[in-house]
Structure 1
Amino acid sequence: MKVIKTPLEGCLILEPRLFEDERGYFFESYNQRAFSEAVGRDIRFVQDNQSFSKKGVIRALHYQTGEFAQAKLVRVSQGRVLDVAVDLRPESPTFGQHFSIELSEENNKQLFIPKGFAHGFAVLSDTADFCYKCDNYYAPESEGGIIYNDPTLNIDWGIPEEEQIVSPKDAQLPPFKALVK
């Protein structure tokens, strides 16, 4: 597995080794020992989630707080998405900055997002299956979010505004400035 650092400390791109021949391909999408070595600590995932979305859908920007904060390992098994992580750690030198990467069934890249980040993605292909592992259980009472089109973050989702599909819940999330007190 190849590990690539992003500009956001602790947020890593993981590229699995792909074995291809005339039959197709094989790759190991997850190995606990290799993953722990790659991120430099022991993280145990307790929940796997998967979503299916159509082109133009933006699912963003979500996070869990307190004892239910989550680290995530995300990937796309079908289609293409623009994946976005936002550093919400006040003590971090990259607080308020974001990183984006295209994840697809073609590139097989994964993104590790540590605790203390908001996360979201936009579907660039006709449809996409998005898979993610979480190191903590979902707790609705600890859920937080930031509006996807926040002017302070200024995220380019790669989708024209008139083609963006956002849930009513996500369209009502507070701005980033509400986090900064």
Structure 2
Amino acid sequence: MRFLQTLLHQAVRIEPDAAEDERGRFERSFCAREFATAGLPAAFVQHSQSCSFAKGTLRGMHFQKAPHGESKLVRCLRGCVWDVIIDLRETSPTYLHWQGFELASSNRHQLYVPEGFAHGFQTLCDDVEMGYLISTPYAAEFSSGVRHDDPAFGIVWPLPIAAISSRDLGWPDYL
């Protein structure tokens, strides 16, 4: 695996090292030793998946509040998404900055999202499946989010929104 620093402090894009032969391809999607060598906490206690049916679906921007903050390792298992993270850590040099990444089953890239970041994505095609390794069990009372169109961030989404939850539309202004 290749661990590539993003523009946001401590967020990392991960590219696979694949072995290919006449049978196909084999690659590791996670290795605790390699994550430790890269300085990334990697105690994932929950694995979740989401399926989105329509191109343009937006999920996010989600996070869990302390003391149930979570880090995530996200990967597109089927299809393609525009994956966005926002640094919400007040002491971070990249506080309130965001960055987007194309995650696709074809490029097999993953994104390590540190604790204290909001995370979300927009589907770029129909029938998308995402996989998440998560460091902390889901705690509904600590689940939170920020709006996808909050002017505090100025996120640019690639497509008109085809579907979004009422909860995601209802987050208050961040600042």
Indicate the residue corresponding to 2:168 in structure 1. Answer: 170
The Cα of 1:41 is off from its aligned counterpart by: 4.4
Q: Return closer, same or farther for 1:41/1:104 CA change in 2, 3 Å cut-off.
A: closer
Q: TM-score, normalised by structure 1?
A: 0.92
Give matches, 1:133-152, under 5 Å.
Answer: 133-152=133-152
**1:12 to 2:5 alignment:** no
**1:48 to 2:47 alignment:** yes
Structure with bigger helix share is: 1
| AA partner of residue 170 (structure 1) | D
- Alpha-carbon displacement from aligned partner over 1:46-79 (angstroms, at most 9, x marks no partner): 0000001021110010110111100000001110
The Cα of 1:113 is off from its aligned counterpart by: 0.6
Mapped partners of 2:130, 2:43: distance in 1: 20
| AA partner of residue 50 (structure 2) | S
Mapped partners of 2:173, 2:118: distance in 1: 12
The Cα of 1:23 is off from its aligned counterpart by: 2.5
Unaligned 5+ residue runs, structure 1? none
Q: Return closer, same or farther for 1:126/1:41 CA change in 2, 3 Å cut-off.
A: closer
Give matches, 1:13-92, under 5 Å.
Answer: 13-38=13-38, 40-54=39-53, 55-92=55-92
The Cα of 1:134 is off from its aligned counterpart by: 0.6
SS of aligned partner of 2:44 = coil
Q: Percent identity?
A: 39
Mapped partners of 2:124, 2:41: distance in 1: 33
Give matches, 1:115-126, under 5 Å.
Answer: 115-126=115-126
Unaligned 5+ residue runs, structure 2? none
SS of aligned partner of 1:35 = helix
The Cα of 1:24 is off from its aligned counterpart by: 2.0
Structure 1 ranges of 4+ moved more than 3 A: none
The Cα of 1:164 is off from its aligned counterpart by: 2.9
Mapped partners of 1:172, 1:67: distance in 2: 23
Indicate the residue corresponding to 2:128 in structure 1. Answer: 128
Mapped partners of 2:148, 2:162: distance in 1: 11
The Cα of 1:110 is off from its aligned counterpart by: 0.4
- Alpha-carbon displacement from aligned partner over 1:16-68 (angstroms, at most 9, x marks no partner): 11122332211111111112212x14430000000010211100101101111
RMSD of equivalent CA atoms:
1.1
The Cα of 1:126 is off from its aligned counterpart by: 1.4
